[in-house]
Structure 1
Amino acid sequence: MAKSDSVVEFDNVNGFPLYLKVDSRSGSPKSKYFTISYKTKENKSNWPLLPLFLALFFNVIAMCYITISVTTIVVIIIVLTFLLFFYMTRCVQSESLLVIPTVGIQSSIKYVYGRENNFIPWSCVDDVIINEVIKLNRVLYYLTILVKTNYNNPENEAIKLIPLFKYTKPRLMMLERIYSELQTLLMEAPVVDAGMGSGDIG
């Protein structure tokens, strides 16, 4: 049975308020569901609605009061349609992480329209770390999953980094809360061999 453990509020690195919601399932299998979303429904990405509406407004005025060719009107409509499509498909509302020990980890990004999911099998998860990144004049922190690649060939086995919560950009305090719970799940879960199927787990 799923239950909500807690809801914590922090600001992200850009100063926008975020909510961290942690849901857990006490049955079998145990799982944790982390969701980071903006405090308000207003989107805080690089493509806010106001510039989009202003561009549409001024272009409509220009078409009404200025004599322009049909080709120019078609180009303006195409550009505005592209901006609207980009806003609908690339403006992030929330990011979530579902962790089911011995099964896998699924990260999800919710856009204004649509959703993107990425699943990592439990046998490929090596560890979870908080990675420090220097970007321009700022230090950013990312919760990162270390994923094993080429696990069938131990000699050429490599580690791939998959950063989480790249768009909401939570601060270190929020990431540490998620990190501690993830480490607890990793330590408690049995080790799964990469060559075994889910039905082979003892």
Structure 2
Amino acid sequence: MMNSNQKMDYENINGVTLSLKVDTPNGATNSRLFTISYKSKPNKSSWPKASLFLAILFNMIAIFYIRISLTAIVVIIVVLSFLVFFWITHSVQSEILLVIPTVGIQSSVKYVYGREDHFVPWSSVDDVIINEVIKMNRVLYFLTVLVKTSNQESESLKLMPLFKYTKPRLAMLEIIYSELQRLLTETHCPEPEKAAGDMG
């Protein structure tokens, strides 16, 4: 079992250093708050910035030195604005997992501007697994929550992968997995009650 308020550093699958922080929110001994964030700026973020800068530079040169119609200038400005907006809203800073037994699991993605939350009630959580995914010539591991979904005809399971953007390595996922399994086991298998005749 991992102590609360601990912080560890690992590399993700791309070699970028991640920081894993485990907290106990509001003194609730059974709850856990897992935060995975970039310890330093990811190397890949320099490419979008450089591409954006070069795109603006070349378009400014084209506007001043080449005769372009007003329509083309408007299109260029709209495309550049979309690129800036996309970079601001889709650059992930950290991913957070809040686990409160008997209440639910909330997964959050924090962007440069804003955040996205996804909540699953505890009654819908069936299990937590580490899923193996083969992508191109690489084997990736994802911590995945099995969520029960029911319709009128039958009940099925839906996969909800966690930490999709930070992409931590297996060692970091195993730490979070063991804590989640412990919390699931404690709530699904409560301690046996004392027999009524044992009193006195």
Same fold (TM > 0.5)? yes
Secondary structure of 2:24's counterpart equals strand
Q: Distance in 1 between matches of 2:183 and 2:46?
A: 35
Partner of 2:130: 130
The Cα of 1:54 is off from its aligned counterpart by 1.8
Unaligned runs of 5+ residues in structure 2 are 190-200
Unaligned runs of 5+ residues in structure 1 are 192-202
Q: Distance in 1 between matches of 2:69 and 2:26?
A: 65
**CA 1:22–1:44 in structure 2 vs 1: closer, same or farther (change >3 Å)?**
farther
The Cα of 1:27 is off from its aligned counterpart by 3.5
Partner of 2:182: 184
**Cα offsets for 1:36-76 (capped at 9, x unmatched):** 11112457459732211221122122212222111111010
Partner of 1:196: none
Q: Distance in 1 between matches of 2:138 and 2:45?
A: 18
How does the TM-score come out when normalised to structure 1?
A: 0.85
The Cα of 1:87 is off from its aligned counterpart by 0.9
Verify the 8 A CA contact 1:132 1:142 in the aligned structure 2.
yes
Q: Distance in 1 between matches of 2:171 and 2:146?
A: 21
Q: Distance in 1 between matches of 2:71 and 2:42?
A: 35
Secondary structure of 1:30's counterpart equals coil
**Cα offsets for 1:6-27 (capped at 9, x unmatched):** 1111111011111111111373
**CA 1:129–1:32 in structure 2 vs 1: closer, same or farther (change >3 Å)?**
same
Query: What is the one-letter code of the residue matched to 2:180?
Result: L
Asked whether 1:58 is paired with 2:65, we answer no
Query: What is the one-letter code of the residue matched to 1:9?
Result: D
How does the TM-score come out when normalised to structure 2?
A: 0.86
Kindly report which structure 2 residues correspond to 1:69-148, keeping only aligned pairs within 5 A, or say none.
Answer: 69-148=69-148
Verify the 8 A CA contact 1:43 1:93 in the aligned structure 2.
no
Secondary structure of 1:62's counterpart equals helix
The Cα of 1:175 is off from its aligned counterpart by 0.3
**CA 1:26–1:117 in structure 2 vs 1: closer, same or farther (change >3 Å)?**
closer
C-alpha RMSD over aligned residues: 2.3
Asked whether 1:13 is paired with 2:13, we answer yes
Verify the 8 A CA contact 1:95 1:108 in the aligned structure 2.
yes
Verify the 8 A CA contact 1:128 1:182 in the aligned structure 2.
yes
Kindly report which structure 2 residues correspond to 1:17-32, keeping only aligned pairs within 5 A, or say none.
Answer: 17-25=17-25, 27-28=27-28, 30-32=30-32
The Cα of 1:30 is off from its aligned counterpart by 3.0
Which structure has the greater CA radius of gyration?
2
Secondary structure of 2:171's counterpart equals helix
The aligned length equals 188
**CA 1:91–1:11 in structure 2 vs 1: closer, same or farther (change >3 Å)?**
same
The Cα of 1:110 is off from its aligned counterpart by 0.8
Verify the 8 A CA contact 1:47 1:91 in the aligned structure 2.
no
**Cα offsets for 1:83-124 (capped at 9, x unmatched):** 111111112111110000100000001111111000000000
Q: Distance in 1 between matches of 2:46 and 2:133?
A: 20
Q: Which is helix-richer, 1 or 2?
A: 2
**CA 1:125–1:43 in structure 2 vs 1: closer, same or farther (change >3 Å)?**
farther
Secondary structure of 2:77's counterpart equals helix
Secondary structure of 1:67's counterpart equals coil
**CA 1:68–1:180 in structure 2 vs 1: closer, same or farther (change >3 Å)?**
same
Partner of 2:193: none
